[in-house]
């Protein structure tokens, strides 16, 4: 079994429906099929830095398949290559990779399963390059991890966004308003596109297609003139106009990823109302899309991914990322996914179909 006796597992980055399903699959496959020991690393890479980890048992990972969040905790603010260290009252960011290596050796971990998105895989690729045996599992509700057709968590986020759009639709129709629903999607518009198509949303604004607010307003007015007394607009948080960039809510200098987006939904609503005189309201879904019980598709996908990660380790694979390609669970070099994102292609059949049925993308 390629010298694998004890493995660690951690969840990094933002929380996501299905994380516990992966932890469960990794732990139970390793323990029950291959008699391996499994350690849970707490709060993502922070637990690796601070040497916070504990043994997992069948009991500790039972009955967690349906739970949202992660029993191990997570962290999206620190990275081992730039960690704040205070010396003599002075705090500066330092590379503490050596500290992580000491903790890996101290706990006798032969390999680590890292469950995370593009940022987490970028961090993991650094450990792979210096010789740590890591297997990645793709996680993100944004569905933007390079190399895989789908990530777990995406189906649940789309389901939540779809239900919200359906509910807002009835309010828009009743009050004859334009309603703007802002969903997650920092650089990739997968959630807005899928939820928008699923609900027959009139306007979908995604980061990949800079929008012209004049064309959006003309579209809304044209609907009104045809007797459509309301309009639904779904906006990715990272959508941008042709004249400007993304709307930044604030800068968090204490975070490894300091830009915090927010406000595009309110901006679009303000612009529509100002230009059309149609009453326009905004709903921001935010972290609601991350929480709660994963849908069945995510539970199944997460279980497949977690089990496949252990099988790769036992087979002697190193530095691989579990992916879904053409409906088949397979794997690619983990470093291929580092520093990359999977954006919505402009020739995507779903996007072209949405255009054909009259959906406006603001261009």
- Per-residue pLDDT for 258 more than 80? no
Separation between Cα atoms, residue 29 and residue 169, nearest integer Å: 44
Report pTM. Answer: 0.92
- C-alpha torsion sign, points 238, 244, 245, 251: negative
pLDDT digits (tens, 9 = 90+) for 1-55: 568 999 999 999 888 999 999 999 999 999 999 999 999 999 999 999 999 999 9
6-152+294-337 matches 155-290 in fold: yes
Nearest to 119 by CA among 49, 20, 239, 14: 14
Residue 142 annotated as catalytic: yes
The CATH code that applies to domain 155-290 is 3.40.50.460
The CATH code that applies to domain 6-152+294-337 is 3.40.50.450
Q: Which pairing describes strands 37-41 and 6-11: parallel, antiparallel, or unpaired?
A: parallel
Q: Residue 2: its pLDDT value, please?
A: 66
Domain-by-domain residue ranges, the chain?
6-152+294-337, 155-290
pLDDT digits (tens, 9 = 90+) for 260-301: 677 899 999 999 999 999 999 999 998 898 889 999 999 999
pLDDT digits (tens, 9 = 90+) for 144-188: 999 999 999 999 999 999 999 999 999 888 888 899 999 999 899
CB-based burial label for 329 (10 Å; 0-12, 13-18, 19+)? middle
Of 15, 43, 118, 142, which is the active-site residue?
142
């Amino acid at each position: 079994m390629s010298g694998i006796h004890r493995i660690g597992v951690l969840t990094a980055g933002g929380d996501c429906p299905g994380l516990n399903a992966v932890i469960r699959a990794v732990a139970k496959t390793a323990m029950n099929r291959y008699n391996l020991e499994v350690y849970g690393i707490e709060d993502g890479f922070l637990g690796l830095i601070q040497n916070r980890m504990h043994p997992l048992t069948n009991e500790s990972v039972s009955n967690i398949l349906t739970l949202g969040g992660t029993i191990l905790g997570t962290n999206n603010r620190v990275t081992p290559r730039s960690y704040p260290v205070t010396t003599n009252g002075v705090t500066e960011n330092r590379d503490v990779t050596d500290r992580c290596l000491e903790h890996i050796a101290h706990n006798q971990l032969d390999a680590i399963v890292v469950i995370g998105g593009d940022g987490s895989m970028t961090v993991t690729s650094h450990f792979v390059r210096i010789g740590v045996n890591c297997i990645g599992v793709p996680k993100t509700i944004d569905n933007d991890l390079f190399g895989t057709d789908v990530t777990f968590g995406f189906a649940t986020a789309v389901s939540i966004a779809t239900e919200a759009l359906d509910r807002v639709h009835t309010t828009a129709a009743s009050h004859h308003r334009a309603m703007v629903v802002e969903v997650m999607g920092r650089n990739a518009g997968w959630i807005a596109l899928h939820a928008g198509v699923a609900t027959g949303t009139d306007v979908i604004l995604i980061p990949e297609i800079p929008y012209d607010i004049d064309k959006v307003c003309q579209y809304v007015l044209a609907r009104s003139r045809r007797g459509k007394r309301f309009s639904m607009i779904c906006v990715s948080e990272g959508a941008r106009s042709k004249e400007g960039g993304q709307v930044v809510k604030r800068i968090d200098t204490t975070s490894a990823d300091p830009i915090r987006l927010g406000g595009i939904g309110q901006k679009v609503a303000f612009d529509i109302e100002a230009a059309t005189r149609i009453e326009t309201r905004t709903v921001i879904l935010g972290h609601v899309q991350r929480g709660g019980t994963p849908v069945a598709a995510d539970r199944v996908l997460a279980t497949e991914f977690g089990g496949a990660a252990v099988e790769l380790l036992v087979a002697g694979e190193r530095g691989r990322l579990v992916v879904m390609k053409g409906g088949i669970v397979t794997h690619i070099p983990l470093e291929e996914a580092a520093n990359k994102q999977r954006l919505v292609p402009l020739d995507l059949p779903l996007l072209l179909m949405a255009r054909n049925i009259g959906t406006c993308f603001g261009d």
